[in-house]
Amino acid sequence: MTDDQKQLLAVFEAKIHQLMLMYKTLKEENAALKNELSERDELIQAANERIDQLKLQYENLKIARVVSIRQDETIGAKKRLSKLVQEVDKCIALLNV
């Protein structure tokens, strides 16, 4: 083997070694990124579950508010009706005089 061939072989081996190191580094980086992606997916899933819970609570609050308003309206309507009945009774009493 000539000196040129030995030198080319040494350069080739160095580049192969460098490629293997780069491959190992990229493989480790890829594993780290996959791990981070998995953690982020779990965080997103937890956040989506929390959003769903909050939406349900919001809907329940809206329903409770509507029921509360209807109860208030019922109480108000009963009071108005009672006043009207009292006025009608007064009118009837005045007519009987």
Residue 81 CA to residue 91 CA, distance in Å, equals 15
pLDDT score of 20: 97
Instruction: Please check the confidence at residue 70 and state whether its pLDDT lies above 90.
Output: no
pLDDT score of 25: 97
Instruction: Please check the confidence at residue 75 and state whether its pLDDT lies above 90.
Output: no
Residue 23 CA to residue 15 CA, distance in Å, equals 12
Give pLDDT tens digits for 21-51.
999 999 999 999 999 999 999 999 999 999 9
Instruction: Please check the confidence at residue 84 and state whether its pLDDT lies above 90.
Output: no
How many CA atoms lie within 13 Å of 9's alpha carbon, on the beta-carbon side?
6
Residue 13 CA to residue 16 CA, distance in Å, equals 5
Residue 11 CA to residue 5 CA, distance in Å, equals 10
pLDDT score of 40: 97
Quote the tokens at residue 21: 């190191």
